[in-house]
Amino acid sequence: MNYLDMVNEVLVRMREEEVTDVNDPENDPEQKMVCKFVNDARSFVERSHAWNALKKLWIIDLAHEKSKYQLVNSAEQSSIYLVKYPSGHQLKEVPSKWIESKGREMGSPSWFAPSHVAQHNVQINVYPKPSNKYTGTGNVFEYASSEFGEATFPNPGNQLYVYGHGQGLRLTRNSDEIVVPDDPVMNYALAFSQRERGEAGGQNSAEVFAMAKQYLSDAISWDVTNSSGEYVWEAN
């Protein structure tokens, strides 16, 4: 469901007039409030669980002497769980202070560390710095996991594949898609709105929050079912 559709789903349940544009300055205060709360609800739901729908693949085209790369289109809460070469060789995660303490050694990167956030993008550092055999552009390409394989590079094998969960930036356009489950987003947005107004469709805010919590719990249960192997822990 996109941003505009979600806003109107909430407005209908509040018995308010629908909007044709979330950015229309003529929208009344109630409509503008719902637009804000849809964003808040979507962010809340995204951060409640490592959703399969938020799995991302970033491909780093390693460049000579460039050791810092920003993972584009990711938010501050994004996470990384694997960095590897196309061959399958994995880089080891270390503290960022460890990498910063090192010198200018060149070679094939073997360690990585998420360092900080710049312009809403998570940055990772690699060590050692790529040697002159890495002749890439230094660019970073972002894909949903289902889009993997569409990138082509002049020097295959000189890239790093970074796997993680990429939480998106705030919704701004009518067509911006909400990729996490609709029901918990809609019900939390309704609950947030209702808390401000006092009631919606005869329900009080406590009832709607309880319903939203149940929708979120159910959605997480179904999402875990689709990746149950990732939630099995074994002692070594």
- Residue 114 dihedral angles phi and psi, to the nearest 5°: -65, 130
Both 177 and 145 in a single domain? no
pLDDT of residue 197: 76
Average pLDDT over residues 68-81: 79
Number of domains in the chain: 2
Q: DSSP per residue over 115-156, as a string? A: EEEETTEEEEEEESEE-TT-B----EEEEEGGGTT----SST
pLDDT of residue 203: 65
Model confidence over 179-199: pLDDT tens digits?
A: 999 999 999 999 999 888 765
Both 27 and 104 in a single domain? no
Both 63 and 34 in a single domain? no
Both 60 and 130 in a single domain? yes
Both 94 and 132 in a single domain? yes
**How would residue 152 be classed by pLDDT, with cut points 50, 70 and 90?**
low
Both 35 and 61 in a single domain? no
Both 196 and 101 in a single domain? no
Contacts for 82 with CB less than 8 Å, ≥ 6 apart: 90, 161, 162, 163, 164
More confident residue, 168 or 17: 17
Quote the tokens at residue 234: 């074994």
Both 60 and 147 in a single domain? yes
Beta-carbon count within 10 A of 65 CB: 12
Both 12 and 38 in a single domain? yes
Q: For residue 183, tell me if it sits in a domain.
A: yes
Average pLDDT over residues 106-110: 96
* Strand-strand pairing, 68-71 and 121-127: antiparallel
Both 58 and 99 in a single domain? yes
Both 75 and 107 in a single domain? yes
Average pLDDT over residues 139-147: 73
pLDDT of residue 76: 61
Q: How far is CA 56 from the centre of its chain?
A: 8
Both 161 and 147 in a single domain? yes
- Mean pLDDT of all residues belonging to the chain: 88
Range of the domain at 38: 3-47+172-210
**Nearest alpha-carbon partner for 164 in 66, 67, 84, 48:** 84
Q: For residue 31, tell me if it sits in a domain.
A: yes
From CA 43, how far away is CA 131, in angstroms rounded?
A: 40
Model confidence over 157-174: pLDDT tens digits?
A: 789 999 988 887 889 999
pLDDT of residue 89: 94
**How would residue 62 be classed by pLDDT, with cut points 50, 70 and 90?**
very high
Q: Which of 47-51, 99-103, 116-120 has the lowest mean pLDDT?
A: 116-120
